[in-house]
Structure formats: C-alpha cells, structure tokens
A = this chain, B = another copy of it.
Amino acid sequence: MKAVSLSFIGFGNVGRGVARVLMEKKQFFRDRYGLEFRVVSISDSSATIWNEDIDLKEAIMIKESLGSLSRWTNDYELFDFRPVDVVREVESDIVIDVTNDPKAHVWHLEALKQGRSVITSNKPPLAFHYAELTEEAEKRGLSYRFEATVMAGTPVITLLQEGLKGDTIESIEGVFNGTTTFILSEMEHGMSFEEALEKAQKLGIAERDPSGDLRGIDAGYKGTILHCVAFGPMAFDRIEVQGIEGITKKDIARARKRGRTIRLVTRVEKGRVTVRPMEVPESSPLAVYGASNAAVIRGDLIGDIVLKGAGAGIRETASAVVNDIIRASTRL
C-alpha cells in the first residue's frame, strides 16, 4: 500500500465532491491501485485545518452546516494561512487547487518548488502561465495535471496527451461552455436572451456575474489550455473571443429554418484560438444540449475523433480531479 498525502486548497462544491469520492471509494483505490490517501490539510477562505489525517466526513459536515472551516473549533487547530503558506508549511505529496483564485499560479509554482505535485480545476493559472508551470514540474519530475479545467471529467486532455502521440493535431473544435448552451437552447424554445439568462441564474447554471461565460472568457480559457496541450504555449490575450450577447431570437430562428442551431464554438489550431457563436447543423456533434460538451479532434493519421460528455457537475468534475490524483500518485 502506498500512502499519499493531499492538501486541499478550496473546499467548495468541487473540493467537497472530491473529498466524498475519496471517502466512498477508499477500498476501490486500495484494491485497484494500492493507494491510500490521507488528507493532511484543508483550506477555505476562512481558515486552514492541518492534521496528519483529517476526518473528511466531519470536515464536509462542518463546512456544509456551519458554512466555513473557521467555525470548526473542536477537534483541530485552525491556521490563518494564505495558500502560499499552506504549500510551504504543510508536508504533502499533492496539492489540489479547487479554488477560483486568479493568482493561483504563484502558489502552484511554490508548491512545485517545494517538491509537491499539483492538480487543479482552476483555469487561469493554465491559461496565463502554462509554460512556466509545466516546465517547472517537468524539471523536478513532478506531476502538474489539470484534466478538470476542460470538459469537467470528460478526459479530453488525457486523450490528447496519451492517446494521439503519433498524430500531428490539426484542429480541435468544440462546445465547452454549458451556460451559453443552456441560454441558446432556451432561446430556441422562444425565450429572449434576458429571460433565458434569468432562468439560468435561478437554476444555478449561470453565476450571479455571468459575464465570463456570456462573453466567451470561460470558453477562451479552455481553448487556450487545449492549444497549450496540443500545440504548445499560447497567450490568452492573443486569442479572438466573441460572446453570445449579440445573439437575438431572430438569429436563432433564421438558423433553425436551415436545420441549424447556434452554439458558442471554440476552435483551436496551431497559433490560433477563436471563440464565437456559430451555426452548427443539428446533425453535427457540436449540436449539444444541456451540460454536455463536445470536442472534435482532427489528427493527420486518425482523422476526426468525437468526444462527448459532461462539461459540468460535481461528481463529473471530481472524476477528473481523482483521475489526476491517481495518475500523479502512481508516479510518486
């Protein structure tokens, strides 16, 4: 049995989702991979708990009932750490970033320098600092993995990294943002843009500030990350992004008349990433619905591969984070 210690930074929906999977499937990870995970620290924005083997069940309960880890005063000492302190102070094999911290690259880099592998579902560090982070990891023989950043648990990054090594990738085209898919679908059914957005916010699909989704920033992050994986580094500020805010019911009706639907399509080719609303035929793999994402990957040998699956969801995102944890652990 190999013991692997983990530091969680962030303990929101995704963090707790990962923690739940680690608890529920403890025996599976032992039997199948000979891995035994111990969580040695958990940080949210209020506090860090730090202990050689944290009781995940209790941690989840406290967080969900009391709202923040700082309220947990019974069993563990609380620390007032910034993430960069956590990765310096807490001895762990793997640091798991499930925050939305836009400056997380600073402590990702510090974690690597401390000899810890890093797994992240947080996109900006990748979209802005890919080369620096992956080179540091490479140099030190550590893992830096980020499957959850694109298509949640649908393993598009692993497929690109491990499944098409002989191919020269020619292009990747996909629908990677569920919020815009939801709004565009609702508009097809007659709602205005504003009504559809309001519904998405009520259902918790769109964030209170939905501009990152609507303006194509989220899809742009994902396109940038895929470019980095398939073609090498790309600066996010060089990509071309157009959101769905200009789309009217008329546009959608016109598309429907031609048997088409409008989706926010991300296209990645060597040196170029574009995000824009496009008419796609109803029969196209890109005509997705709900939280489904789809990618069409074109390689010089294999031709077109279609990969479809969940692009959101707690368990679905946990699937990717846990896959990364296991892959990183077997390298330790």
Spell out A's residues near B (CB within 8 Å).
21, 25, 28, 33, 147, 152-155, 158-159, 162-168, 285, 299, 301-310, 313, 315-316, 318-319, 321-323, 325-327
Once the chains are docked, how many angstroms separate the CA of A33 from the CA of B308?
A: 29
Question: Is there an interface contact between A158 and B168, defined as CB atoms closer than 8 Å?
Answer: no
Question: Is there an interface contact between B159 and A322, defined as CB atoms closer than 8 Å?
Answer: no
- Contact A166/B301 with A159-B158, A306-B307, A307-B307 known, Cβ cut-off 8 Å: no
Question: Is there an interface contact between A302 and B325, defined as CB atoms closer than 8 Å?
Answer: no
- Contact A154/B302 with A166-B21, A318-B166 known, Cβ cut-off 8 Å: yes
Of the candidates B153, B301, B307, B316, which one forms a contact with A153 in the assembled complex, judged by CB atoms under 8 Å apart? B301
- Which B residues touch A153, using CB under 8 A? 167, 299, 301-302
Of the candidates B25, B154, B305, B313, which one forms a contact with A168 in the assembled complex, judged by CB atoms under 8 Å apart? B25
Question: Is there an interface contact between B305 and A309, defined as CB atoms closer than 8 Å?
Answer: yes
Once the chains are docked, how many angstroms separate the CA of A300 from the CA of B295?
A: 22
- Contact A164/B306 with A155-B159, A158-B159 known, Cβ cut-off 8 Å: no
Minimum C-beta distance from A249 to chain B (A): 25
**A contact patch SS:** mixed
8 residue pairs, one from A and one from B, having the closest CB atoms: A155-B163, A166-B322, A301-B319, A305-B309, A158-B163, A306-B308, A165-B326, A153-B302
A and B contact pairs by CB, cutoff 8 A, 26 listed: A28-B168, A33-B165, A147-B163, A153-B167, A154-B302, A155-B163, A155-B164, A158-B158, A162-B163, A164-B319, A165-B326, A166-B319, A166-B321, A166-B322, A166-B325, A167-B319, A301-B318, A301-B322, A302-B316, A302-B319, A303-B313, A303-B315, A303-B316, A306-B307, A306-B309, A307-B308
Of the candidates B21, B303, B319, which one forms a contact with A309 in the assembled complex, judged by CB atoms under 8 Å apart? B303
| Additional pairs, 16, CB under 8 Å, beyond known A164-B323, A299-B319 | A21-B166, A25-B166, A28-B168, A154-B302, A155-B162, A155-B164, A162-B162, A162-B163, A163-B323, A166-B321, A301-B318, A301-B319, A302-B309, A303-B313, A306-B308, A307-B307
